[in-house]
Structure 1
Amino acid sequence: MEKVSARPGQLTGSAGPFAWDLTETLQGAPIFTFPRWSWRHPLLPATQMLPAARAHYDGTFSHPAGTLTLRQAPGASARIYGHGNAHRWGWLHADLGGGDALEIVAAVSIRAGLRALLPLVFLRLRRHGRTWPRRAERTAIGWAGVGRFRTDLTTPTWSVTGRSGLRRIRVKVTLPADRTLALDYVDPDGSPAVCRNSERADAEIRLERWWGRWRPEASWNLDGTAHVEVGDR
């Protein structure tokens, strides 16, 4: 029997032979990947955020082979809810070091009439304590507006490109076969889906700024440290 509890600063639960009791100590401000208002007003098909974009974890995780004890283990936690799983989706969490992080959610809604649209991309880059795109660059529905960011939701490699204001970004994510778990499952409505997840994916991130021409501003190469998920039907 599954039993899960997520309270501020405390994560506990059990699922089959697994159980955990963890204390979560925040190391940074939350990241609202979707518009902040979508958590209070569920008008979008789904919404996602990171209450702990960076955190330390202490406690125990029990499994059939024993118990793993954590002491100041670095990590993050995310929350997502919606009116059902997407038709296709991609997700990236990249800890860029030094308190910087990149969060991307790209999805095609399963709602009739929306499945034929291109994936809608929600992107938030936390760098030097500030987030991009900035508030002035957002629209009511998404960060920097519909169509500003584009994605190619394929495996084993998928990408995101786009710009907002005076900056543009290119992201390339790779899910190596030997580091990816593919899981077939069935939604509550009976429709099948496949989720491919890797906590050891690779990512190349390039950030550029316009100074009369596009010039490199920052870059990150994550070798086996990106957390990535790609799903389809």
Structure 2
Amino acid sequence: MKRRVAILISGRGSNMAALIEAARTPDFSAEIVVVISNRADAGGLERAAASGIPTVVIESKPFGKDRAGFEAVLQQALDDNDVELICLGGFMRLFTAEFVQRWYGRMLNIHPSLLPSFPGLDPHGQALRAGVKLSGATVHFVIPETDAGPIVMQGAVTVADDDTPETLAARVIKIEHRIYPEALRLLASGRLKLEGNRCRTLGSDASDSTLVAPTTA
């Protein structure tokens, strides 16, 4: 039985599109049943509709700082669609601790850095200013603290000396599109186990693969 998933967006829905595409595979363990946006002008709404996915708009601006009021309407939309799992795809609104606790272990987010390094805004700029040689993306469970939940999966890319935030982002987003669907598949198939602040993957094997940067002649 496929798990029912909602994707929450605020913008163009790049990772949303990757999740929708992956879920079209017959043996994928989840189905995307609704895309919910807190902005009526989010570009991802049109992309979702074009893929045949129902969409819901719940404008957050009229709620102001009333997060609980917004979440009550959001929760009703989730209930109406019998949603079991949530994927955040560029959803630019913070949740209350109560909402996060309600969905603990069932709500994923993706962040374009190798957490716990460079959480929050401008992760690519943070990475470049720090001079790291590897960067990437992280799928994690959502907790009340921003970009701090148990890590599910990570993918890395090398950082070039002449990278800008834009060129680095262009490489990292390809990694995002690979690991987010895989993380959702693992969650929906029951292969993730939370142990405190750690997430373990059932049936995973040790790997000898490495990524070293910079490479030299």
Determine which structure has the larger helix proportion and give its number. Answer: 2
Pair in the same fold by TM > 0.5: no
User: TM-score with structure 2 length normalisation?
Assistant: 0.30
Determine which structure has the larger strand proportion and give its number. Answer: 1
User: TM-score with structure 1 length normalisation?
Assistant: 0.28
Between the two structures, name the one with larger relative contact order (CA 8 Å, sep ≥ 6).
2
